[in-house]
Structure 1
Amino acid sequence: MATAEQMAAYAAALRQYKPAQDKPVTEVAIFKLKEAQSAATLEYFERQIIQNTAPGTGIIRQSYGFSLSDPYTLIWMLDWEKIQDHWDFWQTPAFAPVIVCIDKIFVSGRPLVRHYEFQPSGMLRHSVQKVFVWNDELEAPKAESLVGTKSNASDRKVAYAVDMQETSWRCAVFGYENKETAHKDEFVEWEGLEAHLVELAFVEKPTQTMKAGFDMAKHGKLYLHSFKRT
């Protein structure tokens, strides 16, 4: 597990890369679970991670859910006001339970985490989405058929990552009214492509009243499902 000192040193190195900074980004994290999806795992993720990150500075909203394509995958997205807010979060007390959870339930070294500059900024607001992530440096010719394909999606976004030394990574998200509509779309896939159908829950940035609720929840007086979701 990374120490606070190690994360501070990593953040200092990242701050040298200016093109990623001072603009809204959407973090897309694809985690591989050590054990297959379960209600207990999701509840632990919500308690340890969502409850601690939701009040964080610079976090506008989050979404998360198990992949319906792979029983060992969980997808988590965060809209950040700017990428520096993510780096700053590593130095807050709330980061400790987050990293404990990541170490406990996810495969070590496997998370695929990038920050994407969607236009307009922000994640799609559909609960049912198809999420694709790939490295254009290796797979650009194959990706063009995916990016340009006609689809039954209500909305879509495609963007490159802004992260230092990771700007060839690309993400495409397609939003659907329901799972039945999503299943009608068939995309050409290839080895090396992360491709998932996912049903997401959304958590908005808490109001002051909700922040008080999160503080009480940490002392066992409230539970996550008491908070507003969209």
Structure 2
Amino acid sequence: MNTRRTAFAALSLPLALALVACGGDDDADDRAEDRAEQAAEQTPASSAPATPSDGASSAPADAPAGDDSTVLAAAATAAGAVPGGTLFTLDLEAGGWEADVVDADATSFDLALAADGSSVTREPVEDRDDADDTDDRAEREQLLADATVDPAGAVEAARGAVPSGTVTGLDLDLSAGTAVWEVQLDEDTATEQTVVVDAATGEVLRTEQDD
């Protein structure tokens, strides 16, 4: 009888240990699941992809403005070629730029510049046709007095109205007695247009579509 009890106890012990072990595994699994759930609750949910706020456009930005570095270089080079010079006219031609610069005495000079605007290719020569014209001189004197916006400011203002295209000419002139910059874009093409900028305030007065 004792022998049977001993044998039964011997068989029961491994079984009990196995059950305890299984129970331990189950408890460990349960604890792991609990920890995972707690971690998930504490971890902020990933943010959804940002969407434009009400009224904000998701469309791409306007096309970048044309590269104005060449025309501005030509304007600066031309004005610097005449002591006390102010650029009045700049036109892109086949071989480079043609310019008209007026000095502090309202005398007009013609000159030419390289295509990249970095150098003078024809030295300034006084425009004798306008030298003795009192009306032209009076107009130049008024433009020198009234125009406070330089070529760079005129181009910048024009870009607010026409962001793309190539600036092919600048002209400081009087329009109904007001000093204006005429910023010409894409001359001799189907998209040719002129932006008229107040030379005293920098305000865009109008944009003219050329036929």
Normalized against structure 2, the TM-score is what? 0.25
Alignment TM-score, normalising by the size of structure 1: 0.23
- Bigger relative contact order, structure 1 or 2, given CA contacts below 8 A and separation 6+? 1
Kindly indicate which of the two structures has a greater share of residues assigned to helix. 2
Report which of the two structures shows the higher radius of gyration computed on alpha carbons: 2
